[in-house]
Amino acid sequence: MTATALDWQRLHELRPADFEAAGNRWHAVSSRAGADALRVGQAMSAQLRETQRGDAATAALRRLRRLHRNLDYVRTECGLVRTTLNGLAADLAEPQRQLRLALDEAAELGFTVHPDGSITYPASTAHTLLGPQDTPAGQAAPRAALPLDLPHSSLDSSLRPLNPHADRAQALADRIARAVRAAAEIDARYTRTLNGLRAAKGLDITAATLRDVRRDTADVRHAASAYLAADVPFDATPAERKAWWDALTDEQRQEFLRIAPDLVGNLDGIPAAARDQANRAYLPTLIEELAGRHDDASQTKLEALRLLQARLNQPGGLPMYLLGIGDEGNGRAIVAYGNPDTSRNVAAYVPGLGTALDADFVEDTMKRAEDTAAGARLIDRSSASIVWLGYDAPQAADVMSRGDADRGAPAYNSFMAGLTATNRHSDPHLTAIGHSYGSLTVGTAARQAGGIPGADDVILLGSPGVGVERAEDLGVGKRHVFVGAAENDPVTKLPAKEEWLLAGPGALVYGEVYDRGNDDIYFGKDPASAAFGARRFEVDPGPHAVAELGGFAAHSQYFDPGVDVKSTNNIARIVGGQAHKITEEERR
């Protein structure tokens, strides 16, 4: 479209469907290359490895690997061309619509639109203070820009009465010019992108070629961002998003997963396998972006993402699914051990104070979910466990505020609704787990209208209170609320807010101020108390904060089978759907 300058006639006659048709032909090439790559990589290479030995076979396998890389490259690049052409067609639709509206309006008024975009309007009669006066025909030329101080009309110094059609004609000429300028900008952007999608002669896929693929993908993502995002149901419910995803063709899904993974990777309601594929594809891009920043927060997240990437690529162990990543706030990461869509039992654990996207999250917090999954799978093989860092957990003094929990609760409920929508079992067993401040986030989520979507059981560990007075207020029935509170965990004995303010925070460190027998701790009723009414399960008491110099060790051991096997066994029984087998402990 850039062979000659774009004008309103060309924009008017443009057929976006022609670009889509061309895109479909590129897609056919992409699909054929993908099918051939699959045949080379699986059927031909596998058969050769199984039946042939020797130097000739080794050389043949090497050539087949090269052919596979080349075909895969063709598949990817042709797919990018297809997306670019579809994006061009979609983006040009709006300026073309605006142009046609302006042309239709001009025709209705009897105006003549000239090839240069100027508009001739007929003579008319102006009604003035001196009575009706005839005004001559005129012509309005499109303006290149519309500064605020531009004269509103063509009234000249002779005080000649203005033709009533003049303003309308000028406005229409400007609208036509704006539509053409918008289309020309779109055309130039996509032209640059298409010109970049050219392979060198003598195709051989090298490391440099693969870098070019990543660059090409980023270019297409940038050019076609509006097209790709246009139909994504960001404001829909997770169930509606699931229905949208299911209705897409396979090529449409692959377009998102390859080119715009960031649009769907964190979207609740998209199936776990697709979210995992999208987030793994987006992870190198996010790492590259953070590597270009030099502030401490970005470098902390960068280290964590590199560790997470290495962990995802490690062979063996429970299958991992990356259900969410992001650098907003203190960082985002949602990691599942086991497929939450195919597992009958699924737990989603919310961490608390001090949790952020850092090395500790990857090396310690994620292990808690892994240990939970491993334990639950001993009870029922169809079990999965998730660590959900989908909110900003408090980092220091803000732990004394409900603000982070209030902000995190809706996001957690959306995630749980997504698990319910995508799980393939007719009646999955979902467990919400909150540790430390995360228990307040879970409690806050449970207090929202409708409670935590799909939750059957709630586990509160090391809780400073959950903002409710009774277990039944959490929406799952008090027999389905379980509490682990180590005897030497100081967080479970925080004084009520009024007592804290009187004693000062330093008193907790030395074990001087605990709840004074009224069953109230910092964020409400003690979940381990008889008054609260939950089922308290047996955990190891842990080292004493002062006498054994244990500090907060008892607060951090609930998930660790090497330290507190009582707690981990009971958590596993609840998550695995056999809560009737827990060993209970007397409530406070």
Is residue 551 scored above 80 in pLDDT? no
Is residue 548 scored above 80 in pLDDT? no
Number of other CB atoms surrounding residue 330 within 10 Å: 21
Report the Cα 405 to chain-centroid distance in Å. Answer: 20
User: pLDDT per residue over 521-546, tens digit each?
Assistant: 889 899 999 999 999 999 999 988 65
Place of tokens 């401490």: 296
Place of tokens 């981990």: 568
Place of tokens 């709006």: 94
209 or 14, greater pLDDT = 14
Q: Which of 112, 129, 103 is nearest to 165 (CA)?
A: 112
Q: Are 422 and 269 in contact (CB under 8 A)?
A: yes
406 burial type by CB count under 10 A (0-12 exposed, 13-18 middle, 19+ buried): middle
For Cα atoms 525, 527, 530, give the angle at the middle one, nearest 5 degrees.
Answer: 85
- Which two tokens mark 368? 């808690």
pLDDT band at 205 (very low <50, low <70, confident <90, very high): low
User: pLDDT per residue over 83-141, tens digit each?
Assistant: 899 889 989 999 999 999 999 999 999 999 999 999 999 988 777 666 677 788 889 98
Instruction: Please tell me the predicted confidence (pLDDT) of residue 325.
Output: 98
Instruction: Please tell me the predicted confidence (pLDDT) of residue 197.
Output: 83
Quote the strand ranges of 330-402, DSSP E.
332-337, 345-350, 383-389
Q: Are 115 and 9 in contact (CB under 8 A)?
A: yes
Buried b (16+ CB within 10 A) or exposed e, 169-178: bbebbbbbbb
Is residue 225 scored above 70 in pLDDT? yes
pLDDT band at 164 (very low <50, low <70, confident <90, very high): confident
Give the mean pLDDT of 464-484: 96
Instruction: Tell me the C-alpha distance between 360 and 86, whole Å.
Output: 44
User: pLDDT per residue over 16-39, tens digit each?
Assistant: 889 989 988 988 898 888 888 878
Instruction: Please tell me the predicted confidence (pLDDT) of residue 160.
Output: 58
Q: Which of 289, 273, 354 is nearest to 328 (CA)?
A: 289
pLDDT band at 218 (very low <50, low <70, confident <90, very high): confident
Is residue 146 scored above 70 in pLDDT? no
pLDDT band at 63 (very low <50, low <70, confident <90, very high): confident
207 or 510, greater pLDDT = 207
Instruction: Tell me the C-alpha distance between 33 and 71, whole Å.
Output: 5
Q: Which of 539, 570, 569 is nearest to 556 (CA)?
A: 539
- Which two tokens mark 249? 């063709």
Instruction: Please tell me the predicted confidence (pLDDT) of residue 512.
Output: 40
418 or 48, greater pLDDT = 418
Give the mean pLDDT of 317-330: 96
Name 415's Cβ contacts closer than 8 Å, sequence gap at least 6.
268, 334, 348, 388, 390
* Secondary element (H or E) of residue 132: strand 131-135
Q: Are 48 and 68 in contact (CB under 8 A)?
A: no
pLDDT band at 50 (very low <50, low <70, confident <90, very high): confident
Instruction: Tell me the C-alpha distance between 321 and 312, whole Å.
Output: 8
Instruction: Please tell me the predicted confidence (pLDDT) of residue 535.
Output: 98
Poorest-pLDDT segment among 221-230, 263-272, 438-447: 221-230
Q: Which of 461, 449, 467, 439 is nearest to 532 (CA)?
A: 467
DSSP string for 211-268: HHHHHHHHHHHHHTHHHHHTT--TTS-HHHHHHHHHHS-HHHHHHHHHH-HHHHTT-T
Is residue 328 scored above 80 in pLDDT? yes
Mean pLDDT rounded to a whole number for the chain = 87
Instruction: Please tell me the predicted confidence (pLDDT) of residue 580.
Output: 96
Q: Are 339 and 394 in contact (CB under 8 A)?
A: no
Q: Are 415 and 390 in contact (CB under 8 A)?
A: yes
Is residue 400 scored above 80 in pLDDT? no
Q: Are 114 and 138 in contact (CB under 8 A)?
A: no
Amino acid at position 159, single letter? L
Partners of residue 383 on adjacent β-strands: 345
pLDDT band at 507 (very low <50, low <70, confident <90, very high): very low
pLDDT band at 399 (very low <50, low <70, confident <90, very high): low
- Which two tokens mark 6? 């774009």
Q: Are 42 and 50 in contact (CB under 8 A)?
A: no
Q: Which of 251, 229, 231, 233 is nearest to 242 (CA)?
A: 233
Is residue 440 scored above 70 in pLDDT? yes
Is residue 456 scored above 50 in pLDDT? yes
Distances (CA, A) of 312 to 69, 341, 362, 398: 23, 19, 11, 32
Instruction: Please tell me the predicted confidence (pLDDT) of residue 514.
Output: 43
pLDDT band at 511 (very low <50, low <70, confident <90, very high): very low
Distances (CA, A) of 391 to 114, 238, 266, 412: 57, 18, 13, 8
What are the backbone angles phi and psi of residue 521, rounded to the nearest 5°?
-120, -165
* Long-range CB contact pairs, 247-251, < 8 A, 24+: 251/27, 251/31
Give the mean pLDDT of 263-276: 97
403 burial type by CB count under 10 A (0-12 exposed, 13-18 middle, 19+ buried): exposed
Instruction: Please tell me the predicted confidence (pLDDT) of residue 348.
Output: 98
Q: Are 183 and 6 in contact (CB under 8 A)?
A: yes
Instruction: Tell me the C-alpha distance between 458 and 382, whole Å.
Output: 19
Give the mean pLDDT of 136-158: 61
Name 22's Cβ contacts closer than 8 Å, sequence gap at least 6.
85
